[in-house]
Amino acid sequence: MPNDQATAHDSLPPNLSVGEALKKSRQAKKIQLRTVADKMRIRLEYLEAIENGHFKKLPGMAYGIGFVRTYAEFLELDPQPYIDQFKAENSTTNPVILKAPPKPKLDIQGINPRFYVIGGGVLALVLLAWFLFSGDPETPPRVTEVPPKIAASVANPQAITTPPVTSLAIVPTDRTKPSATLSAPAPAATPAPAQPAVQAPAAVPATPIKPAAPIYGQGSNPAPLFKPRAATEAAPVAPAPAAAPAAAPARVPPAAPAAAPVALSGQFTLSAANTPVWIEVTNGAGRIIKSKTLMPGESYLVPREPGLRLTTGNAGGIVISQNGKTAPKLGEVGKTRRGIPLDGSLFTVGAQ
């Protein structure tokens, strides 16, 4: 009904704001504002806001325009000039600034990209740690222990006078990984047990070790308690280090400690007398530092660590010595003893 509505007011009365003009028209028609609100369903406060020019109270420009249009139509006025005037008066306030809708901060279903970075870092640290600490448990402490022990061995005349043969007998027994020493004799000084390793490159040429080492390596791997191979294994040792055939099968108990004169003061030597002996040595932290079967004549030099404890499967067959002294027997042959502290108490009778 635009023709009907466009009555006398084709344009806004001059010098009046949109609100004042609407108010004037309404008062001229003697209509209450409440009536407009009820008929047009517009909240009274919004109509008041339009009449008084408080446009900030309106819910938005778009709604404001709609209310002005509805109000003007109710008063049977042509709404367009009023809308134009309303827009002009309202131009200072920006129509509607559309903000970006809230963006997801954390992906619920997937993984936050940050976790990939953190996870990658943790993985890298774990790998690094594994590379650093996953070697032979014996090797890292020995690397550091070498220099003081060399000094100690120099101070011990017994160690210096030891013929190369003894080191031959010792080297294979202590090698859990013979390939390391074979491939690189010079760096072998670090992973090898302190004394023999230091002396090996100097005293013994690398070649004689070669045939012996693989055999012992194989023999020591699965480590069953008793092996019929004990004798046959000893055989190749003898021809290889031709210099000292007698020293290798050092079976006499006193000979074993004597055969390990490289032992530093206070260092324990474990050796098997006539029968194979299974031993397991743990340190103060409860960590197993050695677990193997000693064949007759074989011996193991226990690294110096606090709180060493020995478990053996053949109490009568094991010979424990320290500083050239042999400890009394721990028990009968074939008897198992657990958690025996490797310290001075071994030499007192009461310890057994």
Partner 1 sequence: MFFNLLGMLSVDMAIDLGTANTLVYVKNRGIVLNEPSVVAVANSRGKRQILAVGDEAKMMLGRTPGNIQAIRPLRDGVIADFEIAEEMIKHFIRKVHNRRNFASPQIIICVPSGSTAVERRAIQESAESAGARRVYLIEEPMAAAIGAGLPVTEPTGSMVVDIGGGTTEVGVLSLGGIVYARSVRVGGDKMDEAIISYMRRVHNLLVGEGTAERIKKDIGTAVPPDVGEGRKQEIKGRDLMNGVPREMMISERQMAEALNEPVTQIVEAVKVALENTAPELAGDIVDKGIVLTGGGALLKNMDRILRQATNLPVSLADDPLSCVALGTGRCLEEMATLKNVLIAAN
Q: Return residues touching partner 1 (CB under 8 A).
A: 1, 3, 40-43, 59-63, 65-67, 69-70, 83, 95-96, 98-103
CA–CA distance, 135 with 155 (Å, rounded to integer)? 31
Nearer to partner 1, 69 or 329 (CB): 69
Minimum Å gap between C-beta 80 and partner 1 is: 10
Residue with smaller CB distance to partner 1, 41 or 114? 41
Nearer Cβ to partner 1, position 95 or 341? 95
For the CA atoms of 110, 114, 115, 118, what is the dihedral angle to 10 degrees? Answer: 170
- Reported as type and span, the H/E element at residue 280 is strand 277-282
Euclidean distance between CA atoms 105 and 301, whole angstroms: 62
Please say which residue, 47 or 320, places its beta carbon nearer to partner 1.
47
Least Å from the CB of residue 75 to partner 1: 15
* Distance in Å, CB of 31 to partner 1, minimum: 17
Distance in Å, CB of 28 to partner 1, minimum: 22
Identify the helix (H) or strand (E) that includes residue 154: helix 139-155
Pull the structure tokens for residue 172. Answer: 């294979």
How far is residue 318 CA from its own chain's centroid? 40
CB of 107 to partner 1, least distance (A): 15
Rounded to whole angstroms, how far apart are CA atoms 250 and 258?
Answer: 9
Is residue 171 within 8 A of residue 191, CB to CB? The reply is: no
Q: Which is nearer to partner 1, 2 or 14 (CB)?
A: 2
CB under 8 A, 24+ apart: contacts of 175-179:
175/213, 175/216, 175/217, 176/136, 176/138, 176/217, 176/220, 176/292, 177/136, 177/217, 178/213, 178/214, 178/216, 178/217, 179/217
Toward partner 1, which CB reaches closer, 15 or 92? Answer: 92
